[in-house]
């Protein structure tokens, strides 16, 4: 059901601050994350090999973790290095260790063959650690398959109906706008869409002075394997269009979202919505966070009910419409990669570079 030989977003780096052991199930496998004394973040199987107790209920000691059931201690490679009351430690005794890379405040974990874990294939998202861009990293848990969330983000038409009074602004968006381009990529897709001479959507009106001025809105979105959504949004004064980029009165946002399967029917959803015009405080970021949570809860309600409907009747067949071009392509390449992987092939995943 899952593509294993790729990098998944395992969590934000702040989630393992202050000696915290973070328990998280990924691709239906129990994982514990922690930051050792050296500063290294470690990801291990969250089951002590002795009696299956959770290591997340244990204790960090240096760069190691100790199971607090019978005291077995494991180093960052998962090797057992101490058994209280027992001098000899069988060399094969230990727990599975997962390759993990901390980059731009993200914890990237590799759930497949460790020999194939190439850090150069990790997505580069420079604005996540650029002081010019400010935002607040966040998390939601969905009771649905991760691909239903991918589908949701792949078709902007849902903004008009699901988010009429939050992120979208009006139903007009679905009727008067179409993608300028849809590019099928070997590891996802790229879509650009404009909505010109429109009212600012509600979430934007909360953070701008001229709340009634018309705007031209551009969304450039990329959805990448295994479930990474990046969107650059620009609002220019109405009539300026692309010529307004970098000009006074133009506002830009960067949106990154990560869908990581927890199980076949549950998903970890991480995101950050950043802006480049905020002052010294985080007032705008807090407003945007509140707006995004409001909007995502609208998505969540629909998607989780959709999952229930699909589960109730597995024979039900989804029907594609014209706006499903992007999501259909993504589903096709994801299915192919999973089939190839299960057949013993290792499809090449090129590194994907985010916007500036």
- Verify cis geometry, omega within 30 degrees of 0, for the bond prior to 4: no
Q: What is the pLDDT of residue 350?
A: 47
Mean pLDDT calculated for residue range 316-331: 90
Mean pLDDT calculated for residue range 76-81: 98
The answer on pLDDT for 338 being more than 50 is: yes
135-172 burial, b if ≥16 CB within 10 A, otherwise e? bebbebebebbbbbbbbbbbbbbbbbebbbebbbbbee
214-249 residue pLDDT tens: 999 999 999 999 999 999 999 999 999 889 888 888
Q: What is the pLDDT of residue 102?
A: 98
6-25 residue pLDDT tens: 999 999 999 999 899 999 99
The answer on pLDDT for 88 being more than 90 is: yes
For residue 171, name the pLDDT band (cuts at 50, 70, 90): low
Q: Distance (Å, rounded) from C-alpha 334 to C-alpha 150?
A: 11
Mean pLDDT calculated for residue range 67-72: 97
Q: What is the pLDDT of residue 147?
A: 96
**Which one, of 295, 247, 296, 255, lies nearest residue 274 by Cα?**
255
pLDDT above 70 covers a percentage of the chain that reads 93
- Report the mean per-residue pLDDT for the chain: 91
* Residue 86: strand, helix, or coil: strand
What residue segments make up the domains of the chain, in order of their start?
7-119, 123-342
114-141 residue pLDDT tens: 999 999 999 999 999 999 999 999 999 9
252-268 residue pLDDT tens: 999 999 999 999 999 99
Phi-psi group of 39: left, alpha or beta (phi > 0 → left; psi -120 to 50 → alpha; rest → beta): left
User: Domain 123-342 classified CATH 3.40.47.10?
Assistant: no
The CATH code that applies to domain 7-119 is 2.102.10.10
The answer on pLDDT for 351 being more than 60 is: no
Residues 353 and 222 sit within 8 Å (Cβ to Cβ): no
Mean pLDDT calculated for residue range 97-121: 97
The predicted model scores a pTM of 0.93
Specify the range with the lowest mean pLDDT, choosing from 43-47, 59-63, 163-167, 293-297: 163-167
pLDDT above 90 covers a percentage of the chain that reads 76
Q: What is the pLDDT of residue 219?
A: 92
């Amino acid at each position: 059901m899952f593509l294993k030989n790729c990098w998944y977003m395992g969590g934000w780096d702040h989630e393992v601050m202050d000696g915290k052991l973070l328990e998280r199930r990924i691709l239906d496998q129990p994982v514990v994350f922690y930051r050792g004394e050296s500063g290294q973040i470690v990801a291990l199987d969250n089951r002590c090999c002795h009696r299956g107790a959770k290591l997340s209920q244990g204790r960090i000691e240096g760069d190691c973790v100790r199971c607090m059931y019978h005291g077995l201690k494991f180093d960052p490679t998962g090797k057992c290095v101490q058994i209280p009351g027992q001098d000899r430690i069988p060399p094969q005794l230990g727990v599975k260790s997962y390759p993990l890379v901390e980059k731009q405040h993200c914890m990237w974990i590799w759930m497949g063959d460790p020999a194939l874990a190439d850090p150069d294939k990790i997505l580069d998202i420079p604005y996540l650690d650029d002081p010019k861009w400010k935002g607040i990293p966040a998390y939601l848990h969905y009771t649905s398959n991760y691909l239903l969330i991918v589908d949701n983000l792949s078709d902007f038409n849902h903004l008009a109906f699901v988010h009429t009074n939050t992120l979208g602004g009006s139903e007009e968006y679905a009727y008067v706008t179409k993608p300028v381009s849809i590019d099928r990529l070997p590891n996802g897709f790229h879509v650009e869409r404009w909505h010109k001479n429109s009212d600012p959507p509600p979430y934007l009106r909360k953070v701008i002075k001229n709340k009634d001025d018309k705007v031209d809105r551009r969304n450039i979105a990329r959805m990448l394997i295994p479930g990474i959504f990046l969107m650059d949004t620009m609002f220019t004064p109405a009539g300026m269009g692309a010529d307004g980029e970098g000009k006074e009165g133009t506002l830009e946002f960067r949106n990154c979202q990560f869908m990581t399967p927890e199980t076949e029917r549950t998903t970890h959803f991480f995101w950050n919505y950043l802006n480049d015009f905020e002052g010294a405080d985080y007032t705008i970021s807090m407003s945007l966070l509140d707006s995004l949570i409001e909007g995502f809860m609208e998505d969540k309600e629909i998607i989780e009910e959709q999952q229930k409907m699909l589960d109730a009747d597995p024979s039900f067949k989804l029907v594609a419409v014209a706006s499903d071009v992007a999501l259909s392509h993504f589903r096709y390449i994801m299915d192919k990669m999973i089939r190839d992987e299960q057949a013993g092939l290792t499809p090449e995943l090129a590194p994907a570079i985010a916007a500036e």
